[in-house]
Amino acid sequence: MNRKRLEQILSDLKRVRLIVFGDYFLDYYLMLERRLSEISVETGLEAFQVVSTRKYPGAAGTVVSNLRSLGVNVLALGLSGDDGNGFELRKKLTENNVDLRGLLEVSNYDTPTYMKPMMAETNGEVHELNRMDVKHRTQLSLDAEDGLIKKMQQLLPEADGMLVVDQVHERNCGVVTDRLRSELKNMAAKYPQKIISVDSRDYLSLFEGVMLKSNVSEVLRASGLERKPDESPCAIADRCGRVLNSRTGKPVVVTLGSEGLYLVENAHTEGCYLSSIPVSGPIDIVGAGDSVNASIGAALCAGVPLPEAGMLGNLVASIVIQQIGVTGMATPDQVLAQFDAHPDVPYFERIK
């Protein structure tokens, strides 16, 4: 890939319309200062003092934010409650010009929320305390499933593809239930020209007929294979990716952490390894996988071949991990600057 080609890809992303279907969380940061702590008269315990708050769309919302930063048009498909956190989530998405026709508001439903207390110690160090999670812990109702299926059937014909973010560990308690997985398989068969890509922490092996994105531990678990002694991450990704590709008939993208990406397009041929973009200084890997999911999915919907889409994914991830303590994103200008700053990456071409 050379710079001209990268510029063309980034320009083409602005024409892409993507559905992001999945579990929408609110990331709710509470900024605390130890020097202001008080002792509760009632309990005798330390009472943390909140000096400011920050709120971002999380989980599926993180993927949305990455897409919007790249200029991709997004349709949200999922659920929110009619509570305060749901209001904040929808407000943030609306501010980012996200189409909310598919984000259904449900009564008596607690909007999934990750509450993240960030403590500033007296020595200036800032660190995260125990996270507090609000999640839906009972099986999703048939009415909610019906509503999601109806919206998916309405919205997919007008979109170029769909990214699926399956975040909740408890089976059938998030929005990507067994019934919705079956509907995804139906949609993939009905619209074979559209990209449908799934990122699932716990249930990757249950999806059929769709593209899969995973990390090494997830692809091992999903394939049902055991890690061999001294086996490299690339070898694991290739072996497990081929097994999953043979089941789905679709590409498999495996993130290798600091080592980059591995792409499997065909179960009968060796996959493609793309080394990571080197970075220096502190890093924060939170959100890196979401950025890869977003950028590769959007590029594929723009007609970009998988290897080039993976190169874009590596560029975006290298920018995101350098953003500490926030939901990282990358703009087209940042992507181009990162390309220019790394002339020695083996798959980048320099036009003399």
Q: How many CB atoms lie within 10 A of CB 215?
A: 19
pLDDT in tens, 92-123: 999 999 999 999 999 989 999 999 999 999 99
Reported as a pLDDT band with limits 50, 70 and 90, residue 282 is confident
Q: 107-128: buried (b, 16+ CB within 10 Å) or exposed (e) per residue?
A: eebebbbbbbbbbbeeeeeeee
pLDDT higher than threshold 70 for residue 351:
no
DSSP H or E run through 15: none
Residues with Cβ within 8 Å of residue 224, at least 6 apart in sequence: 205, 243
pLDDT in tens, 236-269: 999 999 999 999 999 999 999 889 999 999 999 9
Record the pTM.
0.94
What's the CA gap between 179 and 340, in Å, rounded?
46
Report CA torsion sign: 242, 248, 253, 255.
Answer: negative
Domain 3-340 bears CATH identifier 3.40.1190.20: yes
pLDDT in tens, 68-95: 999 999 999 999 999 999 999 999 999 9
